[in-house]
Structure 1
Amino acid sequence: MTFSRLLNFKYSDTLKKMDPDHLVALVTEVIPSYSCLVFCPTKKNCENVAEMICKFLSKDYLKHREEEKLELIKNLKNISSGNLCPILKHTVPFGVAYHHSGLTSDERKLLEEAYSTGVLCLFTCTSTLAAGVNLPARRVILRAPYVGKDFVKRNQYKQMIGRAGRAGIDSAGESILILQEKDKKQVLEFISRPLENCYSHLIQELTKGIQTLFLSLIGLKITTNIGDIYHFMNGTFFGVQQKILLKEKSLWEIIIDSLRYLTEKGLLQKDAFVMEKDLLQKDTIYKSEEEFQCTFRITKLGRASFKGTIDLAYCDILYRDLKKGLEGLVLESFLHLIYLTTPYEMASHCHPDWMIYFRQFNQLSPAEQNVVSLLGVSENFIGKKASGQAIKKKVDKDIVNRLYLSFVLYTLLKETNIWSVSEKFNMPRGYIQNLLTGAAAFASCVLHFCEELEEFWVYRALLVELTKKLTYCVKAELIPLMEVTGVLEGRAKQLYNAGYKSLVHLANADPEVLIKTIDHLSRRQAKQIVSSAKMLLHEKAEALQEEVEELLRLPPDFPGTVASSTEKA
């Protein structure tokens, strides 16, 4: 490494303590005329760095595109029902914002647009931005060679520094990596190393990869026998890399193991008449013409899992949960149904705050507490965890975590305000929004799962209603308005309060009147809302007309039915 230059920035003793990495000097060389990205290892670090930089920026930065920044703050409040993050309230006037998964999608969209147009000139962000939206910069600064607690990989590093000086967007670009003495050797090694090899993802998680692929192939009738599956797999990226990836087992053995797993799970059934030998016996690894012709068909449970796109690791657990739910489904509130549609994979990464857990439990009605009891979680258990006492009786951790997330979703459906729920459960609002989106998607998957299994007929109507509630997460009267393209919660409230309370009202609205009635509504948006409402209304009317015609249509052999002249002939 060689000396480059001294930074032209006067540092006071206070600033030296607050900014040992000299970030203020590095960013002020670029902003506000050009854009800058500062990558930080953690979400909290992003927020702290954004605040720290703004403390030492000149007041002149407040005047740069001042009106547009005030408009951005107003829009951030509008999309969040009047709420605004105190950090963004302080940093946005300086043209600075943080960007990480703790933001809601609407906040991210507004901030990204402002950055793209130059209203914001500096983002402090996590590595997730590098592989996401296209936000280039004149200068990219990596605060440390770490992503979370892990040392950065070369491909991650290339993604981040690749934001600097995008061709066709900027004429120049540079990247700066700040590191400690202890990391110098490792950084020099990984910079000179070639990029990490790219491997097929199929092998990493069998249930989400190969086994799900096999169920889809057989479910769609693309292939039904082992020979076709074997030939198909040989033509995949995984098949091309099999000699590199497969050290202990051959491709044939992995296919046999996967089919055995799917059969044992009750998702596939082997057609017994094709062969006398049981190819799926544990010790069998034949590969003759006879074995190639062994065919499979999808079972009812397999079809339900396939149609519902249920993760195969959880399909039998879901079936068991739904079956158990039939024995004592509590319908006095949505809590029991919400639990059944809370995503399993999110529960596995959940870390409950036990005091909040205990507080939320005590706010439940007797019927809702009965749901908790039915799931095998007792008040005594939650109370002991909250007080830090040892637990002797073993309780299923996944059920406990999933129930906690159900409390979050249940509170959200009642309050319909991400900000208040975020504060109540001490969770980032972006995480809560992701949980809500995941639950809405999973509820739809569970609905399709139940549609394929006659025994779960009772869930169908219930899940249609719950999926709507989770998708829109607003008061019931706003749901019809939320179906219209371009109408989110804030806009739906404005329309409802202005007297547009149904699709019919919106479909018959005058765009010019809408512009005058609704704040911050452009002519293009007004026309889109009216047009979308008309289309939706037309589709609903057509569906009702078809239903009426179906009801009035009599079967040909119905007594008293007169055949047409064509039929007589």
Structure 2
Amino acid sequence: MVGRAGRAGIDTVGESVLILQDKDRNMAQTLVSAPMENCYSNLLHDEGKGVLSLILSLIGLNITTSSEQLRDFLKGTLLFVQQTQLCVGRSLWDVVTQCVDLLKEKELITVTSDPQGQRLQVTKLGRATYKGSVDLTYSDLLYRDLCRGLEGLLLNSYLHLVYLVTPYDMISQVKPDWMIYFRQFTLLSAAEQKMSAAVGVPESFVARKAAGQTVKNSVTMAVVSRMYLALVLFSLLKETNLWSVADRFQLSRGFIQTLLSSSSAFCSCVLHFTEELEELWPFKALLKELTRRLSYCVKAELIPLMEVAGVMESRAKQLYNAGYKTLTHLANADPALLSRTVENLYKKQADQIVASAKMLVNEKAAALQEEVDELLMTPLDLPQL
């Protein structure tokens, strides 16, 4: 709060009012009178993920195309100023060289030589990684999982897609309850169970673990835990009640909420990742819809209504139950009648909802008209008779 009280270079002073409860007074006094904390660069934090990601983005955006340009850029960072403290036993240039070698090893960049020196270029996989903001630790694993997923993609339910967008970094945060796992597994359809076996979690493994048996086979526990999280998300998408899903899996509501928000964010990342790789084209349309479902986590029929400004899940349910089932219905509604039909909806709010729905319908109509115009202008290659 104090940091936002004045603007550097514009204001000379700033005021901040801190409203406290009595129990927090001593803590606040200690914080205010304490010396300033030291500020350190985080680029080398977590095994250098920050500097790796920075270098990949710089190369991908053509800001730097050589090791020399990378060095020049990094001279303007806090890490350069603090390299003697943070780069223990090595120079910043050693770090840059190691990062370039690692990116090359992961096939995210290519390094070629010309008369001016080394030339750095991003690969298709590297471009997909930085445009999708995918963690470099998992980019190659994600690519393999998506390619493998195409070989037998299950489309009669969301389970397979949900599994593919379950965040890798949450796998270690859950330990499956094997009885719950087996109970939920048996509720899956035959196709869904087959899909689970295809990714590496067969029914026989889950059944034997639930029975308390020791299982010695090639099943990867990371895959097993990821499927368990996918089942949690899958249940949440089907019934949208966080409380009941938390109770069924014996997990805290906070954990499930974190899982949902992380999965929604990761799904968006995977969508942008696939948009850059031609071979993964089927995922583009599929993940757009799933991203919306995870973002709202409501029944599919409510999603169009929740695109309207000021309409959350409870209001969308009210509108749907009152007969306003689509954006078109809502756009053509009489605000006065709408406010009388829907409980606790004031006339002013009804006016805003109808106006927002009309705007959305017009935008969608304009977008469709543009597509039609483009199709009509595209010459057809008709076969000659």
1:137 aligns with 20
Cα distance, 1:222 vs structure 2: 1.4
Cα distance, 1:517 vs structure 2: 2.2
1:448 aligns with 2:310: no
2:187 aligns with 363
Change (3 A) 1:509 1:135: farther
Letter in 2 for 1:397: M
- What does 1:117-516 correspond to in 2, within 5 Å? 136-140=19-23, 161-162=27-28, 194=35, 196-206=37-47, 208-272=49-113, 274=114, 293-516=117-340
2: CA distance, partners of 1:339 / 1:326:
13
Contact 1:300 1:452 in 2 (8 A): yes
What SS does the corresponding residue of 2:49 show, helix, strand or coil? coil
Of stretches 388-397 and 217-226 in structure 1, the one that deviates more from structure 2 is 388-397
Alignment length (residue pairs) = 367
- Runs of 4+ residues over 6 Å off in structure 1: 190-193, 556-559
What SS does the corresponding residue of 2:23 show, helix, strand or coil? strand
Deviations 1:181-204 (A, max 9, x none): xxxxxxxxx999856522111111
Deviations 1:401-422 (A, max 9, x none): 1111100011111112212111
Letter in 2 for 1:502: T
Change (3 A) 1:193 1:137: closer
Change (3 A) 1:203 1:312: same
Contact 1:436 1:470 in 2 (8 A): yes
Letter in 1 for 2:204: N
Structure 2's unaligned 5+ residue stretches are: 1-16
What SS does the corresponding residue of 2:155 show, helix, strand or coil? coil
Of stretches 544-553 and 519-528 in structure 1, the one that deviates more from structure 2 is 519-528
What SS does the corresponding residue of 1:294 show, helix, strand or coil? strand
TM-score relative to the length of structure 1? 0.60
What is the percent sequence identity of the aligned residues?
54
2: CA distance, partners of 1:556 / 1:496:
43
1: CA distance, partners of 2:362 / 2:278:
33
Structure 1's unaligned 5+ residue stretches are: 1-133, 143-157, 163-173, 176-189, 276-289, 560-569
Cα distance, 1:388 vs structure 2: 3.5
Letter in 1 for 2:312: L
2: CA distance, partners of 1:555 / 1:377:
50
Cα distance, 1:205 vs structure 2: 2.3
Cα distance, 1:387 vs structure 2: 3.7
Cα distance, 1:260 vs structure 2: 0.6
Change (3 A) 1:516 1:243: same
2:4 aligns with none
Change (3 A) 1:335 1:242: same
Cα distance, 1:501 vs structure 2: 1.3
1: CA distance, partners of 2:300 / 2:84:
57
What SS does the corresponding residue of 2:95 show, helix, strand or coil? helix
What SS does the corresponding residue of 2:46 show, helix, strand or coil? coil
1:30 aligns with none
Change (3 A) 1:250 1:380: same
What SS does the corresponding residue of 1:462 show, helix, strand or coil? helix
Cα distance, 1:233 vs structure 2: 1.0
What SS does the corresponding residue of 2:345 show, helix, strand or coil? coil
Deviations 1:255-295 (A, max 9, x none): 000011111101001123x26xxxxxxxxxxxxxx6xx422
Of stretches 524-533 and 449-458 in structure 1, the one that deviates more from structure 2 is 524-533
What SS does the corresponding residue of 1:509 show, helix, strand or coil? coil
Letter in 2 for 1:301: L
Letter in 1 for 2:22: R
Cα distance, 1:360 vs structure 2: 0.8
Contact 1:270 1:297 in 2 (8 A): yes
1: CA distance, partners of 2:148 / 2:66:
35
Contact 1:207 1:312 in 2 (8 A): no
Cα distance, 1:508 vs structure 2: 2.5
2: CA distance, partners of 1:488 / 1:208:
37
2: CA distance, partners of 1:331 / 1:558:
34
Change (3 A) 1:475 1:192: closer
Cα distance, 1:438 vs structure 2: 1.9
- What does 1:555-566 correspond to in 2, within 5 Å? 555=379
Deviations 1:63-82 (A, max 9, x none): xxxxxxxxxxxxxxxxxxxx
| Higher helix content, 1 or 2 | 2
Contact 1:207 1:313 in 2 (8 A): no
Letter in 2 for 1:517: T
Change (3 A) 1:191 1:541: closer
Letter in 1 for 2:279: E
Deviations 1:50-74 (A, max 9, x none): xxxxxxxxxxxxxxxxxxxxxxxxx
Contact 1:207 1:311 in 2 (8 A): no
